[in-house]
Structure 1
Amino acid sequence: MKKFIPYPINGENLTPSDLLQIIERYLSEIEEPLIGDLTYFSENARYEPNSLQIVSIAAIGENCYSMDYQYRLTIFNGCLDINANEFSTQSVTFHVKPEGLEFDIIDLFKGSTAEEL
């Protein structure tokens, strides 16, 4: 899935620090797709709102970057009647284009047994 953050680059050479500032301004727009479907952790996994943080941004090619991010999730364990708090760290690549930043987000979806057939 592609997710786009509009931001006029105008040929500027942006550093990872510049990109971090831009992305943090628009983080709420890409938060949901970055978190994705947490059922691959557990049916009882829940995202802790506003816990998404950018860990690092690194250049991996011309106008191509990798962004590591983390967020907290809670998984309810019914057998023990407790909530387990965990952090998940993931990566996403994005491209700097003249009109903004285009993220290549992988859809994380557990699926059902019917879909496996």
Structure 2
Amino acid sequence: MKILIPYLIKGNVLTVDELQQIIEPALSEIEEPLIGDLTYFSENARYETNSLQIVSIMEIGKNYYSMTYQFKWTIFNACLDINADELTKQSVAFQVKPDGLEFDIIDCFKGSASEEL
């Protein structure tokens, strides 16, 4: 899935710090697709709101970058006596385009049995 953070680049070459300054205020717009469906960890896994943070941004090609980010999630299941807090790091690629930053986010969701068949 492609998600665009609008920003008028005007042909400028942006530094990693400038890219981070563009992305951070827009994290809430791309938060849900970046976190994805946590049910692949557990049916009881829950994202800890506002824990998404940029760890680093690296250039991987001309106008192509990789952003590593982290977020917290918890599992609570009283029946199984599980109460865990986890910190997960993941990466996403994005491209600097004239009209903004286009993120290429892979959909991670656990399908139902009928979807798997």
TM-score (norm 2): 0.95
Give 1:3's aligned residue. Answer: 3
Q: For 1:66-77, what aligned pairs fall within 5 Å after superposition?
A: 66-77=66-77
CA shift for structure 1 position 113: 2.0
SS in 2 for 1:9: coil
Alignment match, 1:115: 115
Report the Cα distance in structure 2 between the residues aligned to 1:26 and 1:114, rounded to whole angstroms.
Answer: 35
Provide structure 2 residue ranges, at least 5 long, that are not aligned to the other structure.
none
> What count of residue pairs does the alignment treat as equivalent?
117
Structure 1: gaps of 5 or more residues? none
Measured in 1, the distance between the counterparts of 2:40 and 2:80 equals 20
Residue in 1 that maps onto 2:94: 94
Tell me, in whole angstroms, the C-alpha distance in 2 between the residues paired with 1:116 and 1:59: 36
Runs of 4+ in 1 over 4 A off after TM superposition: none
- The alignment's TM-score, normalised by the length of structure 1, stands at 0.95
- Percent identical residues: 73
* 1:3–1:30 contact (8 Å) kept in structure 2: yes
* Cα shift at 1:77: 3.2
State the Cα distance separating 1:115 from its structure 2 match.
1.8
